[in-house]
Amino acid sequence: MELLLENCHRLAEDLAHAARELRALIDDSQSVIFLNLDSHRNVMMRLNLQLTMGTFSLSLFGLIGVAFGMNLESSLEEDHRVFWLVTGVMFMGSGLIWRRLLSFLGRQLEAPVPPMAAPLPRKTLRAGGRLDAKPSLRPDGLGSSRSVLTPR
């Protein structure tokens, strides 16, 4: 009876250990997925900021067109080349301002490159039933650019 109870106790401990390992793996996977989602959110926020800067630069130079669109009379309305000149100046000026804002954004938001993470040990099953831990030979370590959800 004592052997049966010890065997059940050992099985319960093995199951608890396996459950703890699975919980740790689930937590690790969840943190990797959250990091991936944070990265996508940051990309979307940066794109939103870039488009906002473009809209600002277009509206800033659009004021020139607004001035010519008013019902004010001058001698510039009679020459057809002035329309294209003003339009070209508007787009060139807005493009230059946008590029300047983007270069400023690039200087301000450059993040330092994170150090390469140490490779995780890989567990392999030997013929005798023992687990053997080998270091991973993958060069990408934890900093892989592949998606977590796709098979490798």
Q: What is the pLDDT of residue 63?
A: 82
3-state secondary structure labels for all residues of 69-107:
HCCCCCHHHHCHHHHHHHHHHHHHHHHHHHHHHHHHHHH
| 40 within a domain of the structure (yes/no) | no
Number of domains in the chain: 2
Give the residue-averaged pLDDT of 77-84: 80
Q: What is the pLDDT of residue 58?
A: 85
| 26 within a domain of the structure (yes/no) | yes
Q: Looking at the structure, tell me whether residues 56 and 105 fall in a common domain.
A: yes
Cβ neighbours, 10 Å, residue 88? 10
Q: What is the pLDDT of residue 124?
A: 52
| 105 within a domain of the structure (yes/no) | yes
Q: What is the pLDDT of residue 15?
A: 95
Q: What is the pLDDT of residue 152?
A: 40
Q: What is the pLDDT of residue 120?
A: 52
Phi, psi at residue 26, to the nearest 5°?
A: -65, -45
What range does the domain containing 20 cover? 1-33
| 7 within a domain of the structure (yes/no) | yes
Q: What is the pLDDT of residue 129?
A: 52
pLDDT at 144 over 50: no
